[in-house]
Amino acid sequence: MRGVTTGRRLGILLGMGLSVWLQAHAALTTVDIVSHTVSALPDCLHYRVRGLCFWGVIKEGAPRVESTLWVAHYLPEAVVSVFSRSDNNPWVFARKTIDALAYPMGDALTQRWSGQRLGHGVHGHWPHDHRVRFLEADVIGHPLAQSPIAGLPQVAHPSKVEALVPYFVSMHDAIAWRFGMEGRLPSSWQPIAASVGSWGTLYPREGFVVAANETLAAGVVAFRAGHIASQLGIHVGRSLPTECGVECDIQGVDETVETVLWQPLYPSAVSQCCTFGEALEPQDLWNNQEDLGQYAWVLWRLYDGCIQHPTGRFLTKTG
């Protein structure tokens, strides 16, 4: 009996240990991202026809006028991951590929510039202020970008983002992300003028953020990363496209907050989109009093303009 009891206890302990290990290594897969995004299309797409666009074309030697739709809708453009350790991105693909390559590059740059190692992030509290936290962030092209579901010819705009391509990786920009390079910019001197609602300040756009809890801090960092990725020439790598053709614009992440939508992916997926900086829904699902260390959202951007004509020259639009 003692052997049975001991074996049962051992089994319970192993089971508990396995449960803890699985929670610690919980992962977000590319398949998960695609599935959750598709389920959110009815709530996040916000499709509407605004009018018609007219194009001049030459067919059979004669000039003609043809029309296309003028439509506005959101598209799932990027996956924004925020994490407390450089090796703890919740998206498995990004952690094993993009981040694995970015860390040694960032480490080499940091050592050359400051003589310090990059480290593996800071999880927990700043020694002198428990509200100060440091988080890493990635902005990577959504797996569904340029797929049929993200744009149907003649009816909706195709995404201009390239799938699985990094548009911002904080470890690539390790020096600016860690050493407050933007603190010298005039925009950083007016934090109230550019804030993520009541959650925190947009500037300086770095990994350190002051927030009541880590969930809000992660939201602020995600917004900062999306804002950086939307700007040209201020970070290592490519920027998110801002145009979708003639008379067609893409709304990026800017100081007005409401120009983009965010769909929570991790640690709890939600089939709805929200704006940052307001009520904690659906962040309440994430138990915002607990430091989870891993967060992810789908960034939905607004496409507004003419469906492009393959050969025509734009004349005018009405709506």
- Closest residue by Cα to residue 70 from 243, 260, 249: 249
**Residue numbers of the domain that contains 176:** 27-318
Beta bridge partners of 209: 133
Number of domains in the chain: 1
Q: Lowest mean pLDDT of 46-55, 88-97, 193-202, name the range.
A: 193-202
Q: How confident is the model at residue 254 (pLDDT cuts 50, 70, 90)?
A: confident
Question: pLDDT at residue 100 above 90?
Answer: yes
Average predicted confidence (pLDDT) for the chain: 81
**Percent with pLDDT over 90 in the chain:** 50
DSSP string, 98-159: HHHHHHHHHHHHHHHHHS----S---S-BTTBTTEEE-EEEEEE-TTTTSGGG--TTTSPPP
Question: How many residues are listed for the chain in this entry?
Answer: 319
Compute the Cα dihedral for 271, 276, 282, 287 and give only its sign. Answer: positive
- In this structure, what DSSP letter does residue 191 have? G
Phi-psi region of 299 (alpha: psi -120 to 50; beta: other; left: phi over 0): beta
Residue 11 lies in a domain: no
Round to whole Å and give the CA distance between 153 and 215. Answer: 39
Quote the pLDDT of residue 255: 73
Q: Is the pLDDT of residue 150 over 80?
A: no
The pLDDT value given to residue 121: 52
**Is it the case that residue 184 has pLDDT exceeding 50?**
yes
Terminal C-alpha separation, the chain: 82
Q: How far apart are CA 306 and CA 110, in angstroms?
A: 45
Q: Which residue has the higher pLDDT, 189 or 174?
A: 174
Which of 171-180, 202-211, 235-244, 266-275 has maximum average pLDDT?
266-275
Q: Considering the domain boundaries, does residue 1 fall inside one?
A: no
The fraction of the chain above a pLDDT of 70, given in percent, is 75
The count of other CB atoms within 10 Å of the CB of residue 153 is 12
- Residue 197 lies inside a defined structural domain of this protein: yes
Label residue 296 left, alpha or beta by phi (over 0 means left) and psi (-120 to 50 means alpha).
beta
pLDDT (0 to 100) of residue 24: 45
CA of 107: how far to CAs of 40, 69, 232, in Å? 38, 49, 24
Whether 272 is covered by a domain: the verdict is yes
Residue 175: pLDDT above 90? Answer: no
Mean pLDDT value of segment 247-263: 87
Whether the CB-CB separation of 187 and 195 falls below 8 Å is answered with no
3-state secondary structure of 219: helix
Query: Which of 36-45, 127-136, 225-234, 309-318 is predicted least confidently?
Result: 127-136
Q: Is the dihedral of CA 86, 91, 92, 98 positive or negative?
A: negative
| 57 three-class SS | strand
Residue 66 located in a structural domain? yes
Q: Is residue 3 part of a domain?
A: no
* pLDDT tens, position by position, 106-142: 778 777 776 676 665 554 444 455 678 899 999 999 9
pLDDT for 123 equals 45
Number of other CB atoms surrounding residue 110 within 10 Å? 20
- The CA distance from 73 to 271, in Å, is 17
What pTM did the predictor assign?
0.84
Does a structural domain hold residue 266? Answer: yes
- Average of per-residue pLDDT across 62-87: 95
With respect to residue 10, please indicate whether it lies within any of the assigned structural domains. Answer: no
